[in-house]
Amino acid sequence: MARLTLDALRTILVACAGEDDGVDLSGDILDTTFEDLGYDSLALMESAARIEREFGIALDDDDVNEALTPRLLLDLVNGSEVRAA
């Protein structure tokens, strides 16, 4: 399957939940918490739903909640198996 890149994640976050005016998403944000990036649990739920659709995978809500940074979320997504069609 295609891998979710940090750039693609940035695009999805902005499309799903907008962008905090005080945050620079373009920098090195891999290990910045989503909370510090201005994204709450609902923002991540909405973004996770988009990722599930685009990558054909299923993400457990609890796993998404525990992915506190972009790096952890990328690892979660890229370690997931594609659902049987």
Partner 1 sequence: MSTQSSTAAGASGRRVVVTGLGVTAPGGIGTEHYWKALLTGENGISELSRFDASRYPSRLAGQIDDFEASDHLPGRLLPQTDVSTRYALVAADWALADAGVGPDAGFEDYDLGVVTSTAQGGFDFTHREFHKLWSQGPEYVSVYESFAWFYAVNTGQISIRNTMRGPSAALVGEQAGGLDAIGHACRTVRRGTRLVLTGGVDSALDPWGYASQLAGGLVSTVADPERAYLPFDAEASGHVPGEGGAVLIVEDADSARERGVERIYGEIAGYAATFDPAPGSGRPPALGRAAELALAQAGLTPADVSVVFADGAGAPDLDRAEAEAIGRLFGPHGVPVTAPKALTGRLCAGGGPTDLVAALLALRDQVIPATGRTARVPDAYRLDLVTGQPREAALSTALVLARGRHGFNSAIVLTTHRP
Selected binder of partner 1 within 1, 2, 5, 18 (CB under 8 A): 18
Selected binder of partner 1 within 8, 10, 38, 69 (CB under 8 A): 38
69: Cβ–Cβ under 8 A, 6 or more apart, which residues?
30, 31, 32, 33, 34
Q: Which residue has the tokens 């909405």?
A: 46
CA-only gyration radius of the chain, Å: 12
Site string for partner 1, 45-74 (x = CB under 8 A): xx--x--xx---------------------
CB of 21 to partner 1, least distance (A): 5
